[in-house]
């Protein structure tokens, strides 16, 4: 396939490049094999060949090609309660709403219905790769993997491990550390089989819910499994003051140090939130090459403060964005880009230290930042990268001036689901919104 | 017309009432003259009569009738730059972007194009009443009034007065205090004529841009005009630390005290932002019955802190919501409800004082709060109130549990423009989105 049109892609943390009138050539395996600019001598030849083969896809005037987004933090089974009870304290939100909901995913029919809705919604919002917490249920997590395989989303999925009876309800936990670890390993092996069978881009992820919900044995065993199978790891780290205090009380260590002690901070780790990370925690993240999933909407509710993205970036800590469905109510990375900017402004006002993020900064996080955290060749429109793409309409194109910086900001600030016209994962069309209007 | 279906309407600040299976009867003048509940003895008779007269409008399953919203703060000429350059400091944002843009509205063709786009967008987002800052240009402001009259939005519109040469650019200001006041009075009289001619629901508003941009003579003259014509007043008050300092330096008074001294705080005044209002300022607002337009998205960029909505409400200060196009990027009151909740959480975290707002609280602000600020019988679904209504689809109706509290929160958190199916102002259909999908 060959896309013809204008595109935006991050050049650096501080700058998104606009490239007009290009041909983005995608090979059979879904990789961008060449980007031809209008000034290249063979532009017309390449275009004509694409037309002759009926593989030219022209982006309409006023629409733009952008890289697909990576969402680094999604609790898949919480999708039915997105936006519910967020004015409640965390404790009530978890015990009255969240745990009972997740427990329902033992029912595989229910899981299928919810997961189909969620994955369609994420794709419709331009999210081409998702990093998911599932539930404790191995089979329901496989349902999620199958849905992702079928609908074409690149997915990293974890069976949630949670076995600490002090911090989890009796109706929703792994029965023992042994069960938590065995089920995790079973899930890993079944995912391998499913991957081989479907050839889908699905990967299993070691997933301790967070330090409080796991026993020491489970934390250690999960660290060992991550090493044995060379797998990504996800959890929460220093999401709240409560979580920080819990680590100190139980281990006399910082939350990040606990995770590291059990082998859970690696260059394949993605830790959600980190609003309470200290400078030394950030240094540890940098040293271990652990990435942060910044979830600004969720953090407004449960984070107790704003994640210091600017500081983390300065310290060379890897960082991307997450929706945190359903601690965050919105399935849209656009919405989280917007909130990341707003929260950063508010942090700068309250801390009187540099914290401001620009539209270019957050676009980098949503694309390159997320892709780097998961070691995938995605998030850029460039030869050698996967053709994870979204075609986005600038709804105010007729109204305003159209220099590329202004278009870029309008896309970041005003793109709603209905403006995302098509979405591709590795060259495959996974969402088509053109016919609906 | 008779609407048949389920509706939500604020009962109190803390509670939105759900009423199922009702008939909302609207009379010829656009007033709700009766709400018939399913248990009323004549329910079937009223329904049958409406069907016989072909005036029954059935709300589909999974959709709900809500009151239309009031947006208490919109800079109409800034619409083309919504979302632009918000990472710039205020000074640069005003002088490089905002003032040059507003100056373009001398061109009435340009004004018409922009204002049509804006009013359509606001109606499509469920906003049935708008309180607008125009530009300095009397004729362009009349264009805005004509567009509102034609498209059917209830509008309160001010000719912006700004004549202080120290704080306004030479290419965009009233030439003198005399010109500012004469043009304001001309605008008032032409609006009266337009209102009589069209019978549209349009009102002129006394509009000093803010204290810094006006000379003493203009502030005093505007206060006198407000009294002479018994008109609403709008301006900004204590939006930022800079604005507060300016008032102290020039007058040795608080910003609110300056406005009051010139007769600009009355029970018809709506002051935008108020992020820096002190307790004594809030007392002055309560005493004068001045209302606040809370603009949470804008405040994240330019407010230097979060407006203390909870405190203002406790002190019986009137308060509603505003988008502050384009200090705020979004034309949606839904988005501002969501941000009001998030910002309130962040304020509570940072201040350690009660500040949290619930979905019910912000819905009250968007409906009753805004209507009370402007003394209009709107914002409630109740006999005697104007039929300012929106029909909103719960996009996740099939996925989740459907008790009314959960539906209400989903509507507050997930309603996008495409979910707003129809909008009515005083019984007139002003937006119809059913055919587009």
Which residues from chain A sit within 8 angstroms of residue B300, using beta carbons?
342-343, 345-346
Peptide bond preceding B326: is omega within 30 degrees of 0, i.e. cis?
Answer: yes
CB-CB: which of A84, A330, A414 is closest to B406?
A84
The DSSP bridge pattern shows strands B56-58 and B63-67 to be unpaired
Cβ contacts of B407 within 8 Å, gap of 6 or more: B18, B64, B394, B397
Each residue's pLDDT tens digit, B58-98: 999 999 999 999 999 999 999 999 999 887 877 889 999 99
**In chain A, which residue's Cα lies nearest the Cα of B85?**
A409
Q: Where are the domains of chain B?
A: 2-67+379-432, 69-373
Residue A437's pLDDT band (cuts 50, 70, 90): very low
Peptide bond preceding B242: is omega within 30 degrees of 0, i.e. cis?
Answer: no
B318, two tokens? 């009137």
CB-defined contacts A:B, below 8 A: 112
Cβ of B399 and A306 within 8 Å? Answer: no
Closest CA to A218 of A205, A206, A234: A206
CB-CB: which of A80, A300, A359 is closest to B87?
A359
Closest CA to A303 of A279, A268, A332, A339: A339
B203, two tokens? 């009102």
Q: Say which CATH topology domain A69-373 has.
A: TIM Barrel (3.20.20)
Cβ of A409 and B349 within 8 Å? Answer: no
Residue A340 CA to residue A342 CA, distance in Å, equals: 6
Closest CA to B330 of B296, B305, B369: B296
Closest CA to A4 of A47, A40, A41, A34: A47
**In chain B, which residue's Cα lies nearest the Cα of A400?**
B80
> How many Cα atoms sit within 13 Å of B8 on the Cβ side?
29
Residue written as token pair 């780290």 = A237
Distance to chain A for B303, nearest Cα, Å: 9
Cβ of B300 and A343 within 8 Å? Answer: yes
CB-CB: which of B356, B409, B437 is closest to A83?
B409
**In chain A, which residue's Cα lies nearest the Cα of B410?**
A83
Which residues from chain A sit within 8 angstroms of residue B342, using beta carbons?
297, 300-301, 339
- Give chain B's count of helices (H) and strands (E): 16, 18
User: Would the pLDDT of B323 be above 60?
Assistant: yes
What separation in angstroms does the CA of B198 have from each of B146, B193, B201?
Answer: 9, 9, 9
Which residues from chain A sit within 8 angstroms of residue B330, using beta carbons?
413
Which residues from chain A sit within 8 angstroms of residue B416, using beta carbons?
416-418
> How many Cα atoms sit within 13 Å of B292 on the Cβ side?
31
Distance to chain B for A232, nearest Cα, Å: 31
Cβ contacts of A213 within 8 Å, gap of 6 or more: A162, A163, A164, A167, A168, A173
Distance to chain B for A288, nearest Cα, Å: 31
Distance to chain A for B293, nearest Cα, Å: 19
Cβ of B338 and A329 within 8 Å? Answer: yes
Cβ of A416 and B414 within 8 Å? Answer: no
Helical spans, DSSP H, in A81-230: 90-92, 99-103, 108-124, 138-151, 177-198, 216-229
Inter-residue contact A150 to A143 (CB < 8 Å): no
Backbone φ and ψ for A126, nearest 5 degrees, come out as 90, 10
**In chain B, which residue's Cα lies nearest the Cα of A399?**
B80
Cβ of A80 and B114 within 8 Å? Answer: no
Distance to chain A for B87, nearest Cα, Å: 6
Homologous superfamily (CATH) of B2-67+379-432 is Urease, subunit C, domain 1 (2.30.40.10)
Cβ of B301 and A358 within 8 Å? Answer: no
What interface predicted TM-score (ipTM) does this complex get?
0.97
Q: Taking all residues of chain B, what is their mean pLDDT, rounded to a whole number?
A: 96
Residue A164 CA to residue A154 CA, distance in Å, equals: 31
Residue B435: what pLDDT?
Answer: 66
Angle at CA of residue B99, ends B97 and B103, nearest 5°:
115
Residue B133 CA to residue B205 CA, distance in Å, equals: 9
Residue B296 CA to residue B294 CA, distance in Å, equals: 6
Each residue's pLDDT tens digit, A331-342: 999 999 999 999
Find the mean pLDDT for residues A199-226. 98
Which residues from chain B sit within 8 angstroms of residue A85, using beta carbons?
409
Share of chain B above pLDDT 70, in %: 99
Closest CA to A359 of A332, A337, A339, A379: A337
What separation in angstroms does the CA of A361 have from each of A16, A275, B272?
Answer: 8, 18, 30
Cβ of B304 and A406 within 8 Å? Answer: no
Which residues from chain B sit within 8 angstroms of residue A301, using beta carbons?
342, 345
Residue B252: what pLDDT?
Answer: 98
User: Would the pLDDT of B437 be above 70?
Assistant: no
Each residue's pLDDT tens digit, B343-388: 999 999 999 999 999 999 999 999 999 999 999 999 999 999 999 9
Cβ contacts of B270 within 8 Å, gap of 6 or more: B72, B73, B131, B232, B233, B234, B290, B291, B292, B293, B320, B373, B374
Cβ of A413 and B81 within 8 Å? Answer: no
Buried b (16+ CB within 10 A) or exposed e, A381-416: beeebbbbbbbbbbbbeebbeeeeebbbbbbbbbbb
CB-CB: which of A82, A300, A414 is closest to B342?
A300
CB-CB: which of B297, B400, B437 is closest to A342?
B297
Inter-residue contact B423 to B119 (CB < 8 Å): no
Buried b (16+ CB within 10 A) or exposed e, A95-134: eebbbebbbbbeeeeebebbbbbbbebbbbbbbbbbbbbb
CB-CB: which of B84, B305, B345 is closest to A300?
B345
- Give chain A's count of helices (H) and strands (E): 16, 16
Cβ contacts of A336 within 8 Å, gap of 6 or more: A295, A296, A297, A321, A322, A323, A328, A330, A366
Specify which residues B294 forms β-bridges with. Answer: B321
What secondary structure, in 3-state letters, does A275-288 show? CCCCHHHHHHHHHH
Find the mean pLDDT for residues A172-185. 98
Which residues from chain A sit within 8 angstroms of residue B79, using beta carbons?
399
What separation in angstroms does the CA of B191 have from each of B146, B196, B325?
Answer: 9, 8, 23
**In chain A, which residue's Cα lies nearest the Cα of B306?**
A346
A90, two tokens? 């965390």
Q: How far is CA A392 from the centre of its chain?
A: 19
Closest CA to B147 of B181, B122, B174, B184: B122
Cβ of A399 and B79 within 8 Å? Answer: yes
User: Would the pLDDT of A426 be above 50?
Assistant: yes
CB-CB: which of B330, B399, B437 is closest to A436?
B437
Question: What does the CA dihedral A391, A396, A399, A405 come to, rounded to 10 degrees?
Answer: -70
Each residue's pLDDT tens digit, A86-126: 878 788 899 999 999 999 999 999 999 999 999 999 999 99
A387, two tokens? 């053709």
Which residues from chain A sit within 8 angstroms of residue B85, using beta carbons?
409
Question: What does the CA dihedral B104, B108, B113, B114 come to, rounded to 10 degrees?
Answer: 40
Distance to chain A for B154, nearest Cα, Å: 23
Q: How far is the first Cα of chain B from the last one, in angstroms, to the nearest whole number?
A: 25
Distance to chain A for B30, nearest Cα, Å: 31
User: Would the pLDDT of A386 be above 80?
Assistant: yes
Find the mean pLDDT for residues B9-34. 97
DSSP three-state, residue B373: helix
Angle at CA of residue B240, ends B236 and B243, nearest 5°:
70
**In chain B, which residue's Cα lies nearest the Cα of A332?**
B414
Residue B89: what pLDDT?
Answer: 78
Residue A435: what pLDDT?
Answer: 65
Q: Which strand (E) or helix (H) includes residue B378?
A: none
Distance to chain A for B425, nearest Cα, Å: 25
User: Would the pLDDT of B205 be above 50?
Assistant: yes
Inter-residue contact B369 to B319 (CB < 8 Å): yes
Distance to chain A for B107, nearest Cα, Å: 15
Residue B87: what pLDDT?
Answer: 79
Cβ of B346 and A306 within 8 Å? Answer: yes
Residue B436: what pLDDT?
Answer: 46
Determine how many CB atoms are found less than 10 A away from the CB of residue A433. Answer: 16
Specify which residues A254 forms β-bridges with. Answer: none
Which residues from chain A sit within 8 angstroms of residue B244, using beta carbons?
none
Cβ of B409 and A84 within 8 Å? Answer: yes
User: Would the pLDDT of B131 be above 70?
Assistant: yes
Which residues from chain B sit within 8 angstroms of residue A416, using beta carbons?
416-418
Residue A58: what pLDDT?
Answer: 97
């Amino acid at each position: 396939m060959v896309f013809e049109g204008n595109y935006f892609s991050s050049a650096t943390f501080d700058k998104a490049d606009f490239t007009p009138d290009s041909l983005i050539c995608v090979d059979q395996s879904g990789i961008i094999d060449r980007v031809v600019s209008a000034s290249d001598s063979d532009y017309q030849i390449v275009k004509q060949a694409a037309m002759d083969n009926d593989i030219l896809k022209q982006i309409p005037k006023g629409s733009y090609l952008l890289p697909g987004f990576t969402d680094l933090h999604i609790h898949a089974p919480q999708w039915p309660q997105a936006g519910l009870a967020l004015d409640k304290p965390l404790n009530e939100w978890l015990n009255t709403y969240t745990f009972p909901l997740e427990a329902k995913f033992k029912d595989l029919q229910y899981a299928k219905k919810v997961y189909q809705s969620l994955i369609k919604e994420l794709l419709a919002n331009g999210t081409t790769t998702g990093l998911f917490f599932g539930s404790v249920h191995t089979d329901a997590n496989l349902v999620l993997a199958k849905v992702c395989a079928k609908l074409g989303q690149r997915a990293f999925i974890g069976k949630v491990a949670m076995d600490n009876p002090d911090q989890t309800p009796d109706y929703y936990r792994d029965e023992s550390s042994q069960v938590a670890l065995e089920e995790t390993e079973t899930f890993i092996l079944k995912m391998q089989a499913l991957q081989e069978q479907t050839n889908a881009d699905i990967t299993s992820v070691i997933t301790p819910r967070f330090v409080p919900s796991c026993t020491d044995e489970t934390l250690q065993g999960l660290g060992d499994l991550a090493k044995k199978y060379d797998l990504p790891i996800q959890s929460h780290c220093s999401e709240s003051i409560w979580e920080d205090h819990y680590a100190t009380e139980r281990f006399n260590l910082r939350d990040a140090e606990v995770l590291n002690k059990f082998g859970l901070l690696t260059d394949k780790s993605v830790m959600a939130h980190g609003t309470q990370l200290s400078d030394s925690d950030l240094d540890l993240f940098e040293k271990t090459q652990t990435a942060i999933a910044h979830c600004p909407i969720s953090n407004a509710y449960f984070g107790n403060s704003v994640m210091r993205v600017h500081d983390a970036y300065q310290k060379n800590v890897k960082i991307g964005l997450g929706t945190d469905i359903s601690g965050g109510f919105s399935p849209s990375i656009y919405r989280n880009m917007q909130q990341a900017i707003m929260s950063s402004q508010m942090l700068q006002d309250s801390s009187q230290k540099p914290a401001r993020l620009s539209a270019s900064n957050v676009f980098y996080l949503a694309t390159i930042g997320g892709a780097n955290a998961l070691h995938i060749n995605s998030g850029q429109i460039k030869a050698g990268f996967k053709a994870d793409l979204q075609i986005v309409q600038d709804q105010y194109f007729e109204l305003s001036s159209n220099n590329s910086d202004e278009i870029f900001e309008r896309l970041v600030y005003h793109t709603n689901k209905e403006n995302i016209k098509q979405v591709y994962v590795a060259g495959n069309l996974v969402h088509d919104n053109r016919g609906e209007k």
